[in-house]
């Protein structure tokens, strides 16, 4: 039996319609059904990134999709990553390495696009030689006609790969008939023929109410609606965008440790907190409100794509002073990556790596100084506490800059890498910082962080196993999609 399938691209009628989650689901479904899938997104724009085993950088969404597929992530899964630095500029990461900063006008002009196109095509070819099928993800809308000539990620990529396109529409935002039909009609006729099916996502209410709408959409478009996927609340898949973070309530959790993650304008790698958020002993929320931060037992300063700019804003809006007051009153403070840098005495940027600001005073909670450097550190790490123990915890680093003891000060490392290199700084069990993303995925570290506040626990609870939790979520997501999408019809579409 021929087990090979055509590649499939999940493209959208717009941004945030659920393409990433649908692609994640099919990575898991295809794996469950005996295939060897791999995810691919030619170009991703996100502040959430991840370090591959080779120490290179990709979008976090493709790392999650690779995890669902049961394979190690690789830069070939996301050869181009754009990390926004302002409304107009982004850091450009090609094949896992920074190649510079570009403003939107320069980046999307035709000059130089063919070189980038060759790179993403080559990455796809390498990936397709190792895995089948490739589960591709589009970006934004399938029908961005003003960017058609410079598009690297939607129809031109699908055409190169010979992929069948499945169009995903979001019914929750309204206008799903217009967005689906309009997206198709804006395509050239030859491109329209590549779209083989439609999935309606985020449906709320009684599914029977959309039965006639489904038939009408098929008649309008001449393409089968493969499924209508209900909105879910009880499946937890890591999110790519930070738009929903502020909606998480600061209402104090009874019998729980209240953890406030400081909501930065340029917050990055907020998936650092997913494991802690699911821990039954913890109530976690995001805020830059000084009153809400005062309610926290633990305050976490997260990573930032623009550390000095975010530090300036925290000083301006009073959050820095609120953190210092909370620390004096017994709250714990943990900094991760950019947050770790902010906790020191000063941050300097002599090379203007981040922008025009050359120096900013930090919170002064750690006896450290940080110098921003043009070179980015990206690597996966294994580590232990700085006590000579076995390096049985793991995480990853993605940062620009180096942090050392302030003049005349000594700093005690928080952890020690498998290589013997020291990481981070700890003042006491309620004040510490680290460069390691994913540190909160390790139960041993979480236990140490929560220990000073254990008296708040309503009941004794075992350490939370986040790795096992994530595996269950991928299986639950796959089950949810199988119940609501015609998988057999999709397999018919994908047969060569």
List 221, 337, 399, 425, catalytic entry: 337
The tally of CA atoms less than 13 A away on the side-chain side of residue 229 is 26
Q: Which residues, in sequence order, are CB contacts of 12 under 8 Å at separation 6+?
A: 18, 19, 138, 140, 141, 142, 167, 168, 169, 170
Q: Please compute Rg for the chain using Cα positions.
A: 23
Check: CB of residue 154 under 8 Å from CB of residue 142.
yes
Alpha helices, DSSP H, located in 234-384:
274-278, 290-293, 307-316, 319-328, 338-342
- Whether 221 is catalytic is no
Report the DSSP pairing between strands 303-304 and 298-301: unpaired
Q: What span, in angstroms and rounded, lies between the C-alpha atoms of 477 and 487? A: 14
Residue 404's DSSP bridge partners are 369
Q: What span, in angstroms and rounded, lies between the C-alpha atoms of 109 and 22? A: 31
**Counts of helices then strands in the chain (DSSP H, E):** 16, 26
Would you call 230 helix, strand, or coil by DSSP? strand
Burial 412-428 (b: 16+ CB within 10 A, else e): ebbbbbeeeeebbbbbe
Report the DSSP pairing between strands 195-203 and 225-230: parallel
- Whether 437 is catalytic is yes
Cα-flanking dihedrals φ and ψ of residue 491, to 5°? -60, -35
List 74, 283, 399, 437, catalytic entry: 437
Helix (H) or strand (E) holding 477: helix 466-484
Q: Which residues belong to the active site?
A: 337, 437
């Amino acid at each position: 039996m021929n087990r090979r399938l055509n590649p499939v691209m999940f493209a959208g009628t717009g941004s945030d319609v659920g393409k990433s989650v649908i692609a994640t689901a099919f990575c898991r479904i295809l794996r469950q059904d005996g295939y060897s899938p791999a995810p691919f997104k030619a170009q991703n724009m996100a502040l959430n990134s991840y370090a591959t085993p080779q120490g290179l950088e990709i979008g976090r969404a493709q790392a999650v999709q690779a995890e669902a597929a049961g394979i190690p992530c690789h830069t070939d899964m996301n050869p181009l990553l754009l990390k926004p630095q302002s409304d107009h500029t982004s850091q450009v990461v090609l094949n896992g390495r920074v190649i510079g900063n570009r403003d939107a006008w320069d980046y999307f002009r035709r000059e130089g696009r063919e070189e980038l196109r060759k790179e993403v095509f080559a990455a796809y070819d390498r990936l397709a030689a190792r895995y089948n099928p490739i589960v591709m993800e589009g970006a934004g809308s399938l029908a961005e006609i003003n960017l058609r000539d410079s598009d690297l990620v939607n129809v031109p990529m699908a055409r190169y790969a010979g992929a069948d396109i499945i169009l995903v529409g979001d019914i929750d935002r309204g206008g799903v008939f217009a967005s689906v039909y309009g997206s198709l009609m804006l395509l050239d006729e030859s491109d329209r023929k590549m779209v083989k099916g439609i999935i309606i996502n985020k449906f709320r209410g009684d599914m029977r109410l959309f039965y006639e709408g489904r038939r009408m959409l098929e008649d309008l478009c001449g393409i089968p609606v493969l499924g209508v996927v209900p909105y879910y609340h009880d499946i937890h898949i890591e999110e790519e965008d930070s738009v929903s973070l502020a909606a998480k309530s600061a209402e104090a959790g009874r019998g729980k440790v209240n953890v406030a993650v400081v909501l930065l304008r340029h917050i990055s790698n907020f998936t650092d907190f997913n494991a802690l958020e699911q821990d039954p002993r913890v109530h976690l929320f995001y805020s830059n409100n000084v009153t809400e931060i005062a309610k926290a037992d633990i305050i976490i300063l997260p990573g930032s794509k623009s550390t000095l700019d975010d530090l300036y804003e925290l000083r301006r809006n009073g959050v820095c002073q609120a953190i210092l007051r909370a620390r004096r009153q017994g709250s714990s403070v943990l900094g991760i990556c950019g947050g770790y840098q902010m906790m020191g005495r000063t941050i300097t940027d002599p090379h203007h790596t981040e922008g025009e600001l050359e120096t900013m005073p930090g919170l002064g909670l750690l006896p450290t100084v940080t110098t921003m450097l043009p070179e980015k550190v990206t690597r996966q790490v294994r580590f232990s506490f700085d006590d000579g123990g076995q390096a049985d915890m793991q995480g990853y680093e993605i940062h620009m800059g180096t942090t050392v003891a302030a003049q005349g000060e000594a700093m005690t490392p928080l952890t020690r890498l498998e290589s013997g290199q020291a990481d981070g700084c700890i003042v006491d069990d309620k004040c510490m910082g680290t460069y390691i993303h994913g540190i909160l995925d390790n139960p041993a570290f979480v236990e140490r962080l929560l220990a000073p506040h254990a008296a708040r626990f309503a009941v004794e609870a075992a350490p939370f196993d986040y790795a096992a939790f994530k595996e269950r979520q991928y299986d639950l997501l796959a089950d949810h999609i199988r119940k609501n999408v015609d998988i057999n019809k999709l397999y018919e579409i994908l047969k060569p």
